[in-house]
Structure 1
Amino acid sequence: MGTTFHSHHQTTKPRYFFMKKLIPWTLYIILPLALLHLYLFPLSPSPPPNSTSTTISDSSSSFTATTTTAAAASSSSSSSQEEVADELSQQPPSWPPCNYSDGRWVPHSGEPLYRGTSCKTIKEGQNCMAHGRPDTGYLHWRWQPQHCPLPPFDPAAFLRLIENKHLAFVGDSMARNQLESLLCLLATASEPELVYRDGEDNKFRRWLFRDWNATVSVLWSPFLVKGDEKQEALGLNYNTLYLETADERWAAEVEAVDVVVFSFGHWYLHSAIYYENGVVLGCHACPEFNHTEIGFFDVFRKAVKTAFGEVSRRYGNADKLVVLTTFSPAHFEGEWDKAGACPKTEPYKQGEKEMQYMDALMRRIEVEEAAEAEKGGGRVKFEALDVTEMALLRPDGHPGPYMHPNPFANGGGGGRVQNDCVHWCLPGPIDAWNEIFLQIVRRWKKSEGK
């Protein structure tokens, strides 16, 4: 009788001990399994800030590093339009884009799309390979934005996007430098045909990509506003600018242009006298004249406003794209005209080089004015292609002494070799400008529903 355990308390006691043992055993089994699953199948990270509004067809097969052949590029107009539509259908319509200027240069083992020995449109002074530059490390870096991917340049995709359109680079030699980079990149898919030439030094030229009926031009205008360039041989040691009037050499042609890229600024560092509405506004670095020294920052801003105002007036409410490539810093160690050089062979590390006040302010003016123009642009889209920081970090990408062929042959002229630490080797860092430019054109086409 005392051994039957019929009471409620007595009958639940074995169950209690059984459950007490079962729970730890279960945890001992489940926890290792859960940890193993997490190791094999890690959780997907949350998208970084701004990534939803900036990734542009990230998974599209069109963003590959392989070069499309010219034969593939010569597809029919209808098929290419279908390809464009397919590419654009995968892109978010957001505007503005990812902040591509926030990033770093990372080592890249791949080869550039073109070589200095193969591209036919490189200006002599930027052909570092052909001029005997011995190191090649400057070719093996890619710009990696912080919060979004930057796909390799796709020449056939770019040509499809500008099919039946006219793209023009307007400005100084930096505009021409970016243009020549783009021509070399596009030539890996289709050879450009020079159809117009006016003036020396590649100042006014036009190329046609016949398979796409796509036109690419360069228009020399170092101030964007009306101006007379200094001619030291004639005793004119200063520029003369008329700030309220756009340079008619580009303004007269811009209505026939669908995408215009402005790039200028370095000529504003030179001595100049400024006029506005027929009156001398002041001057910069002109001690021989009785004019007020006003520097060039406010004048530069006025020039940007005048250029934007001119395209807005001429474009009306048309579907056009206006891009302003921001100021690209020079990397002279010493004075440019006193054997200053740029001997570095690797990029600066993040935080190693601080942007100078002048470079930062020129960039800020351009970014601010592009944003202001975009507010009232209507169907005309304005955007700054912000390259100032990424350019600052590449002291290794300039021609340096290799602006001339084999500069150190026969002793290199007694050790005083002129250096170019402003323009960029081709191929070189400036190719990344056009990788970003491709994304801007893609987003423009998408935002307009084209």
Structure 2
Amino acid sequence: MRRHLLEALFAAAAFLLPAAAAAVQASHHLLNTTGATTSGGGGGGRCNMFRGKWVFDGSYPLYDYSKCPFMYDEFNCLKFRRPDRMYLKYRWQPFSCNLPRFNGLYFLEKFRGKKIMFVGDSMSLNMWVSLSCMIHSWVPNARTAFVRTQGLSEIAFLDYGVKLLLYRTPFLVDMESQKAGRVLKLDSIRSGNSWMGMDILIFNSWHWWTHTGRTQPWDLLQERGKLYKDMNRMIAYYKGLTTWARWINRNVDPSKTRVFFQGISPTHYEGSDWNEPLNSCKGEVQPFWGLKYPAGIPLANVVVDKVLSRIKKPVYLLDITALSQYRKDAHPTYYGRHGLDCSHWCLPGLPDTWNLLLYAALFNK
């Protein structure tokens, strides 16, 4: 029922957005796949890193949370006394290849003097903190500097000149206060000036597009000078990402900057998504072990695939959705600072795998 509703919704979006029409047909395929979506950097025909299974690995986790100076409480499940530990012990194993072992010292040497920026919402924060802790575990005595703000934060490994930056912007496009209220501008990215000059950019945006009611951070949407009280969220997301794609086309020099899109991180608030109608992620201590995640791939993936298929500059999709859907056990639940949290991820935990995939994409030829 839910899947058919989503398909009907996007069919309506296609009527209003001719450019999205082709995505409707693609969605029928994507909603019935058993692995990752068909777009993005899967390693060509030799290996799709995003199709595989979770396996037990006694050498995990990759770092000690108590020794990482960059940890945030909202992800620090062990600090808040999560009693079970098995969620720390799973490694992602692609079906057709092996991921390289992460080496933080090698990472720092290869990117000596470089700037790496994560741009997006709290899922970008989750991944940024994870990578920082993974690297720090390899060079625990290295000199570091940590500047944490609401907008732009930075972790620098001073002995190597490597800077890991985080630019917080939930929508990628601009938000501004006007007389009419808080306006989300679907066709404006003035904040993009802050992303210039980076060696690696990792973008992410989705979760805040779905917020309604009291948690909705805007009052109106704007496009081409016209204000809208609301809009189908898939259409709005498509318009916003299309504006981001235009920014990439105009401002990124592929010879100087590598661009990644983090992909859609799933939530686990509806137990029916994995055939447990009465449950959220609360109390979940094991991954979903089936071959096909019952809820299917989120329709937001179709929007991402469509936008990336039309972008002119190379952008690598870290297609994390399917592998993350299986990890209903990996959220903070009540072991953090967000009440029942089935959206963010414990650290150490799943985002470490996202960074292993990033590492493989950066260094595997």
* 1:262 aligned residue: 203
Distance 1:334 1:392, change over 3 A: closer
Unaligned runs of 5+ in 1: 1-53, 56-93, 230-235, 284-293, 405-416
Percent sequence identity over matched residues? Answer: 27
Amino acid at match of 2:226: V
Alpha-carbon contact 1:97-1:440 (below 8 Å) kept: no
Decide which of 155, 162, 171 is 1:207's aligned counterpart: 155
Decide which of 290, 294, 319 is 1:350's aligned counterpart: 290
Distance 1:334 1:98, change over 3 A: closer
* 1:430 aligned residue: 351
* 1:388 aligned residue: 321
Tell me, in whole angstroms, the C-alpha distance in 1 between the residues paired with 2:122 and 2:197: 22
| 1:329-353, Cα deviation, whole Å (9 max, x unpaired) | 1112479xxx965221000012363
Distance 1:228 1:98, change over 3 A: farther
Larger radius of gyration: 1
Distance 1:96 1:164, change over 3 A: farther
Distance 1:175 1:163, change over 3 A: same
Alpha-carbon contact 1:155-1:188 (below 8 Å) kept: yes
* 1:198 aligned residue: 149
Tell me, in whole angstroms, the C-alpha distance in 1 between the residues paired with 2:44 and 2:152: 32
Distance 1:97 1:122, change over 3 A: farther
Residue 198 of structure 1: how far off its partner (Å): 3.3
Residue 319 of structure 2 is aligned to residue 368 of structure 1: no
SS of alignment partner, residue 397 of structure 1: coil
* 2:27 aligned residue: none
Distance 1:97 1:185, change over 3 A: farther
Alpha-carbon contact 2:333-2:340 (below 8 Å) kept: yes
* 2:334 aligned residue: 401
Residue 117 of structure 1: how far off its partner (Å): 1.5
Tell me, in whole angstroms, the C-alpha distance in 1 between the residues paired with 2:129 and 2:208: 20
Tell me, in whole angstroms, the C-alpha distance in 1 between the residues paired with 2:143 and 2:280: 36
Tell me, in whole angstroms, the C-alpha distance in 2 between the residues paired with 1:183 and 1:192: 13
Alpha-carbon contact 1:225-1:243 (below 8 Å) kept: yes
| 1:129-149, Cα deviation, whole Å (9 max, x unpaired) | 111011100011111112221
Q: How many residues are matched?
A: 309
Residue 120 of structure 2 is aligned to residue 171 of structure 1: yes
SS of alignment partner, residue 253 of structure 1: helix
Alpha-carbon contact 1:401-1:420 (below 8 Å) kept: yes
Alpha-carbon contact 2:60-2:91 (below 8 Å) kept: no
Alpha-carbon contact 2:185-2:221 (below 8 Å) kept: yes
Tell me, in whole angstroms, the C-alpha distance in 2 between the residues paired with 1:111 and 1:277: 50
| 1:54-76, Cα deviation, whole Å (9 max, x unpaired) | 99xxxxxxxxxxxxxxxxxxxxx
Alpha-carbon contact 1:397-1:425 (below 8 Å) kept: yes
* 1:319 aligned residue: 256
| 1:64-115, Cα deviation, whole Å (9 max, x unpaired) | xxxxxxxxxxxxxxxxxxxxxxxxxxxxxx7698322211111112131212
Distance 1:317 1:282, change over 3 A: same
Residue 320 of structure 1: how far off its partner (Å): 1.3
| 1:234-280, Cα deviation, whole Å (9 max, x unpaired) | xx7xx63111111x33x112222111101121000023532111012
CA RMSD of aligned residues (A): 2.7
Distance 1:171 1:97, change over 3 A: farther
Alpha-carbon contact 1:331-1:342 (below 8 Å) kept: no
Distance 1:155 1:307, change over 3 A: same
Alpha-carbon contact 1:160-1:212 (below 8 Å) kept: yes
Amino acid at match of 2:155: W
SS of alignment partner, residue 208 of structure 2: helix
Tell me, in whole angstroms, the C-alpha distance in 1 between the residues paired with 2:298 and 2:351: 19
Residue 316 of structure 1: how far off its partner (Å): 4.1
Alpha-carbon contact 2:127-2:354 (below 8 Å) kept: yes
Runs of 4+ with >6 A deviation: 94-97
Distance 1:103 1:341, change over 3 A: closer
Amino acid at match of 2:295: M
* 2:224 aligned residue: 277
Alpha-carbon contact 1:142-1:432 (below 8 Å) kept: yes
Alpha-carbon contact 1:114-1:184 (below 8 Å) kept: yes
Tell me, in whole angstroms, the C-alpha distance in 2 between the residues paired with 1:268 and 1:363: 13
Alpha-carbon contact 1:196-1:207 (below 8 Å) kept: yes
Amino acid at match of 1:368: K
Unaligned runs of 5+ in 2: 1-40, 213-217, 273-278
- 1:102-251 matched pairs, under 5 angstroms: 102-190=51-139, 191=142, 193-194=144-145, 196-199=147-150, 203-228=151-176, 240-246=183-189, 248-249=190-191, 251=192
| 1:191-225, Cα deviation, whole Å (9 max, x unpaired) | 462354433xxx42112112321111000000000
Residue 393 of structure 1: how far off its partner (Å): 0.3
Residue 442 of structure 1: how far off its partner (Å): 1.6
